[in-house]
Amino acid sequence: MIQDQETEEVTGQYRNTNSKSKVRTLDRRKEDILAIQKTLRSQKKQQMQNLKSEKIYQCKKCARSYKQKAGLYNHQKYECYVTPQFPCNLCGKLFKRKSTMNRHVSHIHLNQKHNTSKTKYNCNKCSMVYNSSKTLNRHKRQIHAGVKQKFICDYCGYKANKKYDLGVHIISRHLK
């Protein structure tokens, strides 16, 4: 505080009586402005959420409605205003997109599933069959190993055959 000049307290704020300066309300004004801005932002956010919950863009041809204009645009461009022009050469079914027709031919007529492996891995100790060597090795390690691994809970002594199962146990029982 200033020592030479007289000061008086006015509603929790100080005013210099000698130089007749204005009341220092800058800090208070900032707080008020920030509070007002915060309420305005929350009101605007609420209005935006109300608009988003309503589907305001509607197709004139089929009456489907969308929350965003881009959804309506994609619908009109690829679905509603498009006539199927890609025929399947094997069954005659029509498709709107060439990629959909190609997927149809490979899955239905050629019986190709892209994610499956044709190689099968058989267990030599039992009748189990696996699609990868990794899963076969895990099976052998967990089921047919001479010494089976045990994972023990430090909290209660629970024993699990898999580390993952022990982790699930610890999370569900001890880390609530």
**116-130 pLDDT per residue, tens:** 556 889 999 999 999
Confidence of residue 14 (pLDDT cuts 50, 70, 90): low
Q: Give me the mean pLDDT over the 79-107 stretch.
A: 85
Can you tell me the mean pLDDT for 31-49? 73
CA distance 50 to 54: 7
In this prediction, residue 8 has a pLDDT band, given cuts at 50, 70 and 90, of: very low
**54 confidence band (pLDDT: 50, 70, 90):** low
- Look at the pTM and tell me if it is higher than 0.75: no
- pLDDT, position 136: 92
Alpha-carbon gap, residue 148 to 153, rounded angstroms: 16
pLDDT at 56 exceeding the cut of 50: yes
Q: Collect all residues with Cβ–Cβ distance below 8 Å to 86 and sequence separation of at least 6.
A: 94, 95, 96, 97, 98, 100, 101
> To 5 degrees, how large is the angle CA 99–CA 104–CA 110?
120
Q: Stretch 40-57: mean pLDDT, rounded?
A: 70
Residue 2, pLDDT score:
45
As a whole-number percent, the residues of the chain with pLDDT over 90 amount to 9
Q: Are 148 and 159 in contact (CB under 8 A)?
A: no
pLDDT higher than 70, residue 29? no
Q: What is the rounded average pLDDT of the residues 37-54? A: 69
Residue 1 pLDDT level (bands cut at 50, 70, 90): very low
Q: Which pLDDT score is estimated for 124?
A: 93
Ranked by mean pLDDT, the top range of 28-37, 40-49, 140-149 is 140-149
